[in-house]
Each structure stands twice: as C-alpha cells, then as structure tokens.
C-alpha cells in the first residue's frame, strides 16, 4: 500500500506541476492519502500488539460518526434557513442531513420486498450514493488543497467575483472578497488593476460591479486602478469579461481572481476551461455558511462534467442490470 501511495503521490505532483487547476489532481491526492493511511494501519497492526482491535473499534464507530454528521448538517441547515432565508441553495445541508439516515432505510425496505426490480433499484441507489460520496470527498479534499496553495506571480490584474447585493450595498460575504483584493493590492509594489465584476440581478437596485468599485475607492484604491465590470451574470462571464477589460486597459500579465474559499476550486476550473492564464485565491467565509456553499459548488461542478460522470457510472449501471437479470432468473 505504501508503494501505491508513493506512486499516486508522484502522479499528483506531476499533474499539479502541469496545471493545478485540474480536478483529476484531487483523484490522485485522495488515492495517495488513502493508500498511505491503509499502509500505515497495516504496519501498525503487525508491529503494535492490540492495534487491530483499535482499528476494528474505529470501523464499528463509523455508523455513529455518520449519524453525528447527519445531525450536524441538519442543525446547520436550520441555521442557514434562519439567517439566509428559505431558498433551495440554503437548504442543501438540511436536505443532505436528512438523506444520510433515510437512504439506508429506503434501501433495506426495497430489498425486503423481494421484488427483483425493487432490489435492483436498491442496488442502484447504493452505488449512486457511493459514487456521489466518493466524488464529494475528492472535490472537498482538492478544494481544501488548492485553497491553501500560494500564488507566486505578482498579478497584473485582480478580478473580484461578484455576489448578490443587499439593499444596493456590499454584504459581509462580498466585503470579505473585496478586503482580500485590497490586501493583495496594498502588498504589491506595482499596483495591479482591480476589476470588481458583477452585473445587476433581478432583485438588485444596481450592478454589483458598481457597488464593489465604490467600496474599493472608499477604502483607498486609486481611481486609475479600478475599472468595474457590470455585465456578468455568472462566474464564467466574470472571468471572460474581466480579462477583456484587462486587455483593453493594456495591463498585460497574469490575472488573479478573488472569491470566497468555498468557490475557489470551481472558479479555477472555469478559468482553465476558458484557456485563461489565471489563478484563484479565496477569502474567509462565515463558518455556518460553508457546508451549504460547498454542497452547492459540488453540484455545480458535477453538472459541468455531467457527460464524464455518466460515462464513469456506466459500469455500475451495467452491474445493476446483471443483478436484475439474476433476480428475474431466480424468481
């Protein structure tokens, strides 16, 4: 296992050196860490008397830890609804917390019926849940890893990705992004161009870019270093329109996008997809907001790679069909 860990680690370092804005880096990273942990457990079981019992105890405690996770997500979901309002995006942690204990019960009920079709549905549900869980672990692990990477190049431009305004003003979530951009701006000897990017949503009284530019100027950024982008309605447009502004301003060089920590990896994936020479850095986010935000980002990344995931899931679907055929033959 340790040899596999070294091999996967080498693959991870190779992929990351080529381009760290790739989700497959997370696959190699999780594989390396998983193999390393199994290898260490295997060695300790052979060397330390009684360690196998400790390992067994940890495995037996896993169902309890899953229930604890479910309770945490439900509590977080209630907090989100109370603080952020009743929108679907704010209910994700609550729905996930309810689904964790519900799915095994549903699967058992389907199996107990003895119906081959319902048993196959239970198998398919189990496989789909396992696949989604593994994909989320990979996404979350690499999002955390990417968010902690340092960006060596001094940016020629810093794009601040917009988010919803409240009463035409900058809320705490967006303020954190702007403050992070100001921190980078003040630390740079050659001042980068600041591009606050965001259009006007249906529930907003003015474009996000305009409000963000007002905040940056109010915090001491030079007027010649601030050019707002007021048309974008999603992250891909934020990046593309902002790069056009950078090019038009004659500020050639690397671009750095600033967002909140939960959004960093998806923004980086989008910048790579657009063929941009850009990295992404994150600002801190209120802790209660993070679980639902990461779930929302995970769903968006899955949707963005839907064809790939359908292909990867085909073997599991084929296995489910074999289970159905076996069940029908035995009936």
- For the question of whether the overall pTM of this predicted structure is more than 0.85, the answer is yes
Percent of the chain exceeding pLDDT 90 equals: 70
Q: Which fold has domain 157-285?
A: Rossmann fold (3.40.50)
Residues ≥6 apart with Cβ < 8 Å to 273: 236
DSSP H or E run through 2: helix 2-18
Tell me which residue has tokens 């030079």.
222
Closest CA to 301 of 266, 274, 264: 266
Q: Do the Cβ atoms of 196 and 209 come closer than 8 Å?
A: yes
pLDDT-based confidence at residue 152 (cuts at 50, 70, 90): low
Q: What whole-number distance in Å separates Cα of residue 290 and Cα of residue 260? A: 10
pLDDT at 153 over 80: no
SS3 category, 167: coil
Nearest to 271 by CA among 165, 161, 175, 185: 161
Q: Calculate mean pLDDT across residues 141-158.
A: 86
pLDDT in tens, 80-99: 998 888 888 889 999 999 99
- Looking at the predicted structure, is the pLDDT value of residue 50 above 80? no
Residues 6 or more apart whose CB falls under 8 angstroms from that of 2 comprise 35, 36, 39, 40, 43
Closest CA to 157 of 250, 275, 269: 250
How many C-beta atoms surround the C-beta of residue 132 within 10 A? 15
Give CA–CA dist 192/2, Å, rounded: 45
User: Is the pLDDT at 277 greater than 90, yes or no?
Assistant: no
| pLDDT of 313 over the 80 cut | yes
pLDDT for residue 160 is more than 70? yes
**What pLDDT does 36 receive?**
93
Q: How many CB atoms lie within 10 A of CB 78?
A: 14
Q: In a 10 Å sphere around its CB, with 0-12 CB exposed, 13-18 middle and 19+ buried, how is residue 30 labelled? A: buried
pLDDT at 331: 66
Element (H, E) at 21: none
Cβ(280)–Cβ(270) below 8 Å: no
Domain ranges of the chain: 1-49, 63-149+291-331, 157-285
* Structure tokens belonging to residue 89: 């995006």
Edge-to-edge strand list for the sheet holding 255-260? 193-197, 157-161, 255-260, 278-283
Return the pLDDT at 268: 94
Q: Say whether 229 sits in a helix, a strand or coil.
A: strand
């Amino acid at each position: 296992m340790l040899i596999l860990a070294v091999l996967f680690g080498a693959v991870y370092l190779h992929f990351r050196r080529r381009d760290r804005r790739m989700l497959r880096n997370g696959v190699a990273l999780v594989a390396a860490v998983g193999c390393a942990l199994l290898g260490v457990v295997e060695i300790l079981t052979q060397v330390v008397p009684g360690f196998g019992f400790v390992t067994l105890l940890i495995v037996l405690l896993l169902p309890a830890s899953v229930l604890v996770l479910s309770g945490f997500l439900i509590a977080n979901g209630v907090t989100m609804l109370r603080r952020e309002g009743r929108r679907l995006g704010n209910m994700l942690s609550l729905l996930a917390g309810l689904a964790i204990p519900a799915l095994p019960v549903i699967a058992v009920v389907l199996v107990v019926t003895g119906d081959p079709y319902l048993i196959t549905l239970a198998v398919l549900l189990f496989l789909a849940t396992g696949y989604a869980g593994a994909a989320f672990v990979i996404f979350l692990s690499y999002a955390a890893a990417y968010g902690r990477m340092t960006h060596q190049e001094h940016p020629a431009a810093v794009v601040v990705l917009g988010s919803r305004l409240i009463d035409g003003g900058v809320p705490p979530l967006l303020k954190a992004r702007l403050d992070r951009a100001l921190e980078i701006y003040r630390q740079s000897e050659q001042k980068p161009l600041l591009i606050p990017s965001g259009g006007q949503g249906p529930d907003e009284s003015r474009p996000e870019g305009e409000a963000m530019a007002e905040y940056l100027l109010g915090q001491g950024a030079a007027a010649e270093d601030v050019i707002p982008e007021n048309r974008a309605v999603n992250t891909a447009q934020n990046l593309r329109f902002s790069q056009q502004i950078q090019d038009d301003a004659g500020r050639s060089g690397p671009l750095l996008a600033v967002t909140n920590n939960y959004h960093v990896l998806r923004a980086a994936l989008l910048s790579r997809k657009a063929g941009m020479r850009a990295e992404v850095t994150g600002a801190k986010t209120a802790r209660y907001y993070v679980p639902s935000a990461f779930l929302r980002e995970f769903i968006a990344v899955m949707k963005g790679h839907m064809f790939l995931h359908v292909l990867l899931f085909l073997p599991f679907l084929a296995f489910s069909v074999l289970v159905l055929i076996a069940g029908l033959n035995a009936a």
